[in-house]
A and B are shown apart, each in its own frame.
Chain A
Amino acid sequence: MNLFSLQRKETFRAPQWETKLSIKIIMTLVMLYFLVAFILGASFIYPGLNKAVQTKEPVEIFNSILLYFFFFEFILRFFLQQLPVTNIQSLILLPIKKSRIINHVLLRSVFSGFNLFPFIIYLPFAISMYRDDYLLTQVVAWWGALALFTFCINFLIYIINKDNRFFVGLLVLLAATIALDKYTAINLGEMAGTVFDQVVETPVLFGAFLIPAFLSYGMVYLFLKRGLYMDAGLKQKKTQVRGGEFAFLNVFGEDALFLKNDLRMIIRNVRPRQIVVMSFLFLFYGLVFFPQEIYRNQPYILAFAGLFVTGGFTLTFGNYVPAWDSSYYKLLMTQNLSYKKYLLSKWNLMAFVTAFCALLSTPYLYFGWDVLAIIIAGSFFNIGLGTWITLFGGLLNKSPMKLNVKAKAFENTQAFSLNQFLLTIPKMILPAVLYGVPAQFVSPTAGIVSLAGAGVLGLVFRQQMAEKITQLYIKQKHETIEAFNK
């Protein structure tokens, strides 16, 4: 089908594919690694549940948490799934039937990375079921029902994506489900689970899942058909102007100019918003490690965790400096502004947000003073050195950034470079060593002093650091402009 060949060309001729073959191979390997890791992880669910809970069948337990998984999937897709609608503008006038265009778009969406869920999570589970003592028909019906339901979500997200009210509704529903489960005898998760239990018991019921699948397809088909005019569904929505003067920033004097611009950029564009939201999730990273006793005596892991809690913004936002400004880089390069001032403004923003995160992380005091001390020392490191390492990494990042386009999940290669990926290694190992070595051989306090001290040093030599990095940026100026122009 030649609409698909257009699609293939679009994907493989995108700038990020025009990299070296070696990088392509490594990226493919990285993706394969994650895929295999997921599948392996998922294949341990069944035996794990079997061992942990004796009173219930693993399938029943799994089914009873499916509802939450669906909520999670909905939310993830809402934020990350980019609908393949925008590219059909150029097709409207060609002699192609509208129905064909819509069917193509919908079919295409089936190949989204999100629809791998049934394969990487449900399939390993289903295989475990079969290896236990379920009949093939039972397993196939169960898996098929889940796969069909995943496709329902895939189609419904088209409608939800256009309208924030649906999303709010979804959140309310989720909150209600949790509340009902907690405070009343009604457990919607288990109720939804019994539906899938029934499918296992009576495989023929699988057929019932064809109905919502077809219905959702039909609904979205009609929805898109109505929207298939230039001024309706396709055009990106015109938004009300958000965030204005930020007059309070004027206390920063000349720096305020860039700070304001960066804030406006974050508030008004999809991609940076997405990334900033993600960066705040890092605040909760510590919850994975600090509550567990086994990590309490592992200084390297503690340093890691402490660093991530406040380092989210530097890691996620900072990684894309200067790509954030790629769409108007030529303007910046011809205006009366010094490169150093530009970079320092980015530094200020990162330092400010990291300090703010440090403030927000004070509830970690719950786990003890030592934990909070690691986090605060980590924030010193992030501000003093992490920021500079990140800005150095930006030098290696030569992919333009489309600000107002959502990242495609599982192909988040926009403005991604392998070099930069490799640079995250020292960014994590350095602090682990700075804290871990003194903590292991002297005392935890020595580790904290060493980690925070390194950060303070970076702060003291801020001007010199800025000077050095600026030199490097200027050296790469033409290369960067050319790359951003693509």
Chain B
Amino acid sequence: MINVNNLSKKYGSTTVLSLSSLTITKGEHFGLVGNNGAGKTTLFSLILDLIQASSGEVTINSINVAKSEAWKNQTAAFVDDNFLIDYLTPEEYFDFVAQLRKIDPKTLKDFLVRFEEFFNGEVLNQKKYIRDFSKGNQKKIGLAAAFIGQPELIILDEPFANLDPSSQIRLKNFLSSDENKGTTLLVSSHDLNHVTDVCDRIVLLEKGEVIKDTPKSAATLKELETYFSEQ
């Protein structure tokens, strides 16, 4: 699904990311962990062609993201607030995204029903602009929008941050549910518990380089905790 070749990103003389090669297969739930400044968001931004690589390339389904826009019809992401149109109501926002992804209103409605529990009655029919919602609810809106139309690839940066405990658990269950089995999911998180629960492969970044790349096993969480406590 995703191929990364000799990818690097430099700002001046500082290298913030340097990956010789990384392959993410279709349907993989890929977890990215690392301390601040490790390069997680940089990697996601490079995959989404939001920043320009200093060298190397990223391909999604063999399409070079920097050269063509064709990858966009199978990709969705929620990286930060810049993915929300804050003067829209959640309904209008979902509708906007759905129309871009060619989803008809009926399908969208059915889709949103499944998020009812996650939204906890605080998102839909509120007659409020997104900018007037709390941070947590804004996050829920952005996350839900990323799943509209079942894109093949979904990239979520820190999806658990700002969510209340119940919502974190609901999100975790949703990400691991059957309907997302075939979806390639890229998740970064500072919460080692959640990320090991949701993902079946964990990559640990530090200072822009891969330190650890393992399939998840029973021991993964312990290993990660040991690693980070020694930092």
Contacts and interface: CB of A to CB of B under 8 A. Distances in A.
A241, A269, A484 pick with most chain B CB within 10 angstroms: A241
B51 A334 contact: no
A264 interface: yes
Contacts of B89: 241
A418 interface: no
Interface residues of A, number: 30
A265 interface: yes
B84 A257 contact: no
B101 interface: yes
Task: Describe B's contact surface by its main secondary structure.
Answer: loop
Interface string A326-370: 011111011111110000000000000000000000000000000
What interface size band does chain B fall in? 20 to 34
A257 B50 CA distance: 23
A331 B132 contact: no
B87 A330 contact: no
A484 B51 CA distance: 12
A257 B100 contact: yes
Interface stretch (B91-99, B116-124, B167-175): B91-99
A182 interface: no
A471 interface: no
Interface stretch (B73-81, B179-187, B218-226): B73-81
Contacts of A108: none
Contacts, number: 80
Contacts of A10: none
B72 interface: yes
B127 A241 contact: yes
Contact of A238 (B75, B99, B128): B128
A126 B48 CA distance: 63
Interface string A54-76: 00000000000000000000000
A257 B131 contact: no
Interface in B129-163: 129, 131-132
Interface of A: 238-241, 257, 261, 264-265, 268-269, 327-331, 333-339, 403-404, 477-478, 481-482, 484-485
9 contacts: A241-B129, A269-B87, A327-B85, A327-B86, A333-B48, A334-B75, A481-B51, A482-B51, A485-B82
Given A336-B73, A339-B69, A403-B86, 4 more contacts: A238-B132, A333-B48, A333-B50, A338-B69
